Structure 1
């Protein structure tokens, strides 16, 4: 399955590299040379392309650009925060996959009709294929309903569930619980970001 967000990220990186490493001659260091005058005239001509747009068109297009960039920034800052916070508790690959699923699913309208326990199970079931959906439902209930008031108990100070133990040292149940706690926290953060934007 092709991830459009990943493709956009790759395209943005490619565009940045293309801009940075163009085949154009570098900026002339000595502005008194003949080559410098030609360079400056060429640069002024390139800037005059913006004169073809009205201020209203520029404002509209810049607003569209900002609207497209805001979700990308929030996802990136969310990933960075989660990697810093949970890097010791869960492998980066699993954490990234979990965040991608949680982000993708919160954008679906049908997702909002699911109970919180169902949302948690949906997000982690691909990460934990050895667990049946019913077993994950049983494990998800305490995290879905104990944290109902918006309080993520134990997440701020580091609970016994999400402690400083390495992922490989956790039992399967502890790994599942860790995934569910992190997923609950991720869903809360993503929904909060969506409400604020």
Structure 2
């Protein structure tokens, strides 16, 4: 059969390939790849590779590959940005939830709180850390240790508890008074509730 007649050729080709592979391995037996790039002895290995590339590839040859790689990165980042909703300060401040806070917190304080919360979100820290970082500037009289205590109910609410329930609970504990007429603890609760709302909105 035709398939049987090709087997000897294939076998010979495979044997030859295996012999060549073994020869390559034996020839490079003394060369070892530095698996830990932080190892000081690895710098010589990488410098040698860079020199070999520089000697073998001219800038004209490398440029098309660099351009292609840069274009691919741009396309990937564009795809990531397109799939990530952008929550702006203006859109948050115009939401129905924030209309309820308008009479209780000065606009300047509210804007500062939202901006600091967005910065805290970008830090990717734990939720409690984000909350404390969010309100620290608008509550300068509070120490971090006390803020962490107040932030616990907002950071560690039950998983099946809706964000709106947490927010409503916080609002019920704050009198419907202007910001300057609220007690320090009411200001803290209101600020933490707003920060938690902004954080949750960023995940929508």
Tell me the TM-score normalized by structure 2: 0.51
RMSD: 2.8
Is contact 1:143-1:184 (8 Å) kept?
A: yes
- 1:101 corresponds to: 116
Displacement of 1:87 in angstroms is 0.3
Displacement of 1:90 in angstroms is 1.3
Is contact 1:128-1:176 (8 Å) kept?
A: yes
- 1:78 corresponds to: 92
- 1:161 corresponds to: 173
Determine the C-alpha separation between the residues in 2 that align with 1:156 and 1:141.
16
Q: How many residues get paired?
A: 123
1:128 aligns with 2:139: yes
Tell me the TM-score normalized by structure 1: 0.53
Determine which structure has more spread, i.e. the larger CA radius of gyration: 2
Which protein, 1 or 2, shows the higher relative CO under an 8 Å CA cutoff with sep ≥ 6? 1
Displacement of 1:147 in angstroms is 5.4
Quickly say closer, same or farther: Cα 1:146–1:94, change in 2 above 3 A. same
Tell me which of 107, 112, 115 is aligned to 1:92. Answer: 107
Tell me which of 123, 143, 162 is aligned to 1:151. Answer: 162
Determine the C-alpha separation between the residues in 2 that align with 1:140 and 1:185.
13
Quickly say closer, same or farther: Cα 1:150–1:122, change in 2 above 3 A. farther
Unpaired segments ≥5 residues, structure 1: 1-59, 193-197
- 2:191 corresponds to: 179
- 1:41-52 matched pairs, under 5 angstroms: none
